[in-house]
Structure 1
Amino acid sequence: MIIIDTALARRAAEARPIRVGMVGAGFMGSGIALQIAQSVPGVQICAIAARQTDQARAVFEASRKGEAVRVTQSVDDVSRAIREDAPVVTEDPAVMAAAKGLDAIIEVTGSMDYALRGVETAISTGKHVVLMNAELDGTIGPLLAQRARAAGVVYTNADGDQPGVQMNLIRFVKGIGVKPVLAGNIKGLQDTDRTPDTQRGFAEKWGQNVAMVTSFADGTKIAFEQAIVANGTGMRVARRGMIGPDPTGKDPTAPLRPLEDFVDMLRPHIDPDGPGIVDFVVGARPGPGVFVLGTHDDPRQQHYLALYKLGDGPFYLFYTPYHLCHFEVPMTVARAVLFADAALTPLSGPQVGVVATAKRDLGAGDQIDGIGGFMTYGQAENYDVIARDRLLPMGLAEGAILKRPVSKGAVLHFEDVDLPSGSRVAELYGEMERQFSRVPEMEGAYS
């Protein structure tokens, strides 16, 4: 990040800020706008797309104070506002992303088709894409990344979110000659029985969306986060749902244990000669944050690592004891625009995905309520298993109608549901599977 602050200072001194559009004006979007306005010279948010334009207007009024905010649904009007340095909001992400004058967009909604309108348009019009949307990325990210590379733009997850922090740590570990064999996420709670009813108080306390908070607690969010780390590194999961050592017994007030204690819990699942795995732990200190386990096969370097207090191996523990979310997102924008560098992007085809799992007994005719709801949660699974067994991706589950009963804890299959018609994400999911030659016999199953 040290080189980035110098580059941004130069852009600010030259009065040539990186011009950014943002999709979303909720809890995280308002934090990003405030951070950029107060603390990041050289970057400027020029346009915001949000379903509720009043909310987007409020974000600008809290960050670009004293400036009149324009509201429009016209690409030309958004382009004019950017050219005239006037903050502008619109309902349609595609309208904003098509406008002239933007270098990049930041997507912060956690939605699917709505977010995709902005992402696809940005890629097709030559703008970089920064996602704080693990759900979209973990569903069709490999296809979107392939399109971005073809268009000559960067498609990336964000610094500050745990996947991006993991990738930065992985790059550091590899850079000193240590081989990463596990990328891990540190959680304070994991309980697949959590619902919006159990999480409403927490969400209201912190001003967050209750469905999003529920997805944190029930494990769906971490499944998506670790899936995109796997897709960006070639790693896999050791088993469906990951190992997830949890000595807390689902009690968030249980005493924390040193992160080093969890290494022995994970050790039996690590193949030092394999591609590595993604996983998580619950109830560790320091935390929240991320960690990487690595190996080194040179005895002399092992001696140095022991001298530097990393132990005798065979696994060496590296960690970052925090993730600062919106504070770090502007750095990702600068990396993409100024250095064509992604914080975290899929390498190629999908390695790990997230499958829908019944949170309670479900009956024929039930309509699934989606991510962070009452009916399903997501588990990380290797993509070859997903394709082979026709498992239903969590990112396609919302609105699907069950054709038969499904018991609590069972993973849903495509044959269990009728998908809602007209989903662009479902259409692209099918294209992704065909593009990477996973299940050619399923052509037409996603329409």
Structure 2
Amino acid sequence: MNLSALLAARAAQGRPVRIGLIGAGKFGSMILAQARHIEGYHVVGIADLDVGKARDALTRVHWEAERFGAKSLADACKTGTTHVTDTAADLFAFDDIEVIIEATGHPIAGIRHALAAIDAGKHVVMVNVEADVLCGPLLAEKARAAGVVYSMAYGDQPAAICELVDWVHACGFELIAAGKGMNFAPPYRYSTPDTVWDFFGWSEEEVAAGDFNPKMYNSFTDGTKAAIEMAAVANATGLDCPEDGLAFHPAGLQDLANVFRPSSDGGQLEKPGLVDIAASREKDGRVVLNNIQWGMFVTFRAPNAYSRDCIRQYGLLTDTSGWYGSMWRPFHLIGLETSVSVLSAVLRGEATGSSTRYRADAVATAKGDFAAGDMLDGEGGFKVWAKAIPARLAAAQDALPIGLAHHIRLKRAVKRDQVITLDDVEITDDADIFAMREDQKRILDG
């Protein structure tokens, strides 16, 4: 609760927190929109393959041209301005940058950027959940060995869920479940980039007028993003994924404690200690009353009768027995809040959530029947959706992670809803990442 005071003390000493940002897309733009308003918080350099796009993003978020006109990182450091480059390696090589924010959204690039930053002795704030769920536990291990912080990005839902989980443990309650809200109903599972806008109810004119990426929105719609994020939360908290993937239980605020409790006590969970989704749609598509589509939640159990009575007396929403309660955060503000992670890493040496275990995975699952020779198209595409399952099951099957399911060819046929394995595909690229995945099995947890 004192990050701003710690930052003010550093700023008074003339020692701003110096940051390198990789990726100037939507998330990166939101980070930049706030950065210029935080005294002592200096984005020294921005790396993006499209420098013109990065400059356009800075203009769009109300930066004056002179603020990002530095000719070099050294010039930016000296003048308090920002240098824009197309080479991420420049940021790793510059000693005065303390922390790297990885916001590309590309899982392979994200892993390689994180490795380079850790090797350079810099903290990493990993916006790129796709990279984190692929190799986050191994990256966290390497960061600990190097004496730097590897952190989830505050403002995104996984970090906010980790904060709620920490609250449960710190208060002495028994953690039962954690998750987030999401607009989902069973038919959404087989959405494609061609059909995704139907689920949002937007007209062709609205889509044409906006800056919308159909694969990204399709990942939100078909449940892939949920699987990626919930697997990451499991790896950060020690919770489990359900054996057969996320169930997407429809639940509003008033239902959380009743739904997300064990089936032995009348709930929908196969056991305590799971991640899952509070769907904002009933299975027939009707909107759930008081849904938490944009929010995050935890459910927990009181340890004794006195605590049970207290949580009811103070207005907490509980199940019918009073033993189970829920706590939630209604919104998350993406990159507008990511400075919390940066400052926590630099000023406290603490992560706002970190994948310290290999406990869960998000694995590629077929959206239809496909033949040998067909090319998979990855997250948000036409061919696969991601299922969040325990890591022990993913490892035993040699399941293909969703982050490696892009532009990879099937060498044998698969059926709809079949988990795709490494034996089903031709591996020709990214051998270093596949090797990291194999190495990660030695830290398998649970």
Q: Tell whether the structures are fold-level matches, with TM greater than 0.5.
A: yes
Match of 2:341?
A: 332
From 252, 270, 276, the equivalent of 1:258 is 252
Look up the match of 2:303. Answer: 297
Q: Confirm whether residue 101 of structure 1 aligns to residue 96 of structure 2.
A: yes
- The aligned counterpart of 1:250 is none
1:366-391: CA deviations, max 9, x gaps? 11111111111101000101111221
SS of residue matched to 2:195: helix
Evaluate the alpha carbon distance shift between residue 267 and residue 193 of structure 1 in structure 2; reply closer, same or farther with a 3 A threshold. same
Pair 1:26-2:3 in alignment: no
Output one character per residue of 1:229-279: Cα deviation in whole Å (capped at 9) or x when no partner.
101111101232212114xxxxxxxxxx63222443343458999771100
Q: Distance in 1 between matches of 2:30 and 2:231?
A: 25
**Greater shift in the superposed pair: 294-303 or 305-314:** 305-314
2:3 maps to 1:4: yes
After superposition, residues 220-231 of structure 1 pair within 5 angstroms as 220-231=224-235
| Structure 2 CA distance for partners of 1:425 and 1:270, relative to 1, 3 Å | farther
- Counterpart contact for 2:92–2:116, Cα < 8 Å: yes
Q: Report what 1:156 is aligned to.
A: 151
Match of 1:436 in 2: 443
- Structure 1 CA distance, aligned partners of 2:362 and 2:413? 21
- The CA RMSD over aligned residues, in Å, is 2.4
- TM-score normalised to structure 1 length: 0.87
Question: Are the counterparts in 1 of residues 378 and 384 from structure 2 also a CA contact under 8 Å?
Answer: yes
2: CA distance, partners of 1:402 / 1:59? 38
Consecutive unaligned residues in structure 1, runs of 5 or more: 247-256, 439-447
| Aligned-partner Cα distance in 2 for 1:94–1:259 | 46
State the alpha-carbon separation in 2 of the partners of residues 282 and 220 from structure 1. 14
Maintained 8 Å contact 1:231/1:351: yes
Asked if the contact 1:399–1:420 (Cα under 8 Å) also holds between the matched residues in 2, the reply is no
Amino acid at match of 1:108: A
Look up the match of 2:141.
146
Equivalent residue for 2:423, pick from 412, 415, 422: 415
In the alignment, residue 391 of structure 1 is paired with which amino acid? Answer: A
Question: Conserved in 2, the CA contact under 8 Å of 1:113 and 1:423?
Answer: no
Q: Distance in 2 between matches of 1:300 and 1:262?
A: 22
CA distance 1:293–1:85, shift in 2 (3 Å): same
Question: Sequence identity of aligned pairs in percent?
Answer: 33
- CA distance in structure 1 between the aligned counterparts of 2:333 and 2:97, rounded to whole angstroms: 25
Which sections of structure 2, spanning at least 5 residues, go unmatched? Answer: 198-203, 281-287
Aligned to 2:283: none
- Residues 141-187 of structure 1: CA deviation (Å, up to 9, x unaligned): 00000000011111011111111111111112222211211001111
1:192-251 CA-to-partner distances (Å, cap 9, x unmatched) read 1122122366776653433221111111111111111101111101232212114xxxxx
Residue matched to 2:274: 277
Quote the offset at 1:59 in angstroms: 3.0
Corresponding residue for 1:444? none
Change (3 A) 1:19 1:133: same
Tell whether the 8 Å contact from 1:179 to 1:295 is kept in structure 2 after alignment.
yes
Work out the CA distance in 1 between the residues paired with 2:83 and 2:156: 27
Instruction: Tell whether the 8 Å contact from 1:397 to 1:419 is kept in structure 2 after alignment.
Output: no
Contact persistence 1:83–1:101 (CA under 8 A): no
Q: Distance in 1 between matches of 2:264 and 2:58?
A: 48
Deviation at 1:421, TM superposition (A): 2.0
Per the alignment, residue 16 of structure 2 pairs with 17
Q: Corresponding residue for 1:195? A: 192
- Structure 1 ranges of 4+ moved more than 4 A: 68-72, 200-206, 269-275
Report the TM-score when normalising by structure 2: 0.88
Whole-Å separation in 1 of the counterparts to 2:190 and 2:400:
20
2:399 is equivalent to residue 400 of structure 1:
no
Q: Pick closer, same or farther for the CA change 1:317–1:205 going to 2, 3 Å.
A: farther
Matches within 5 A, 1:2-401: 2-38=1-37, 40-61=38-59, 62-67=61-66, 69=68, 77-79=72-74, 81-190=76-185, 191-199=188-196, 207-246=211-250, 258-269=252-263, 276-283=273-280, 284=288, 285-287=290-292, 288-310=294-316, 311=318, 312-348=321-357, 350-401=358-409
Going from structure 1 to structure 2, the CA distance change for 1:239 and 1:205 (only over 3 Å counts) comes to farther
Tell me, in whole angstroms, the C-alpha distance in 2 between the residues paired with 1:216 and 1:99: 36
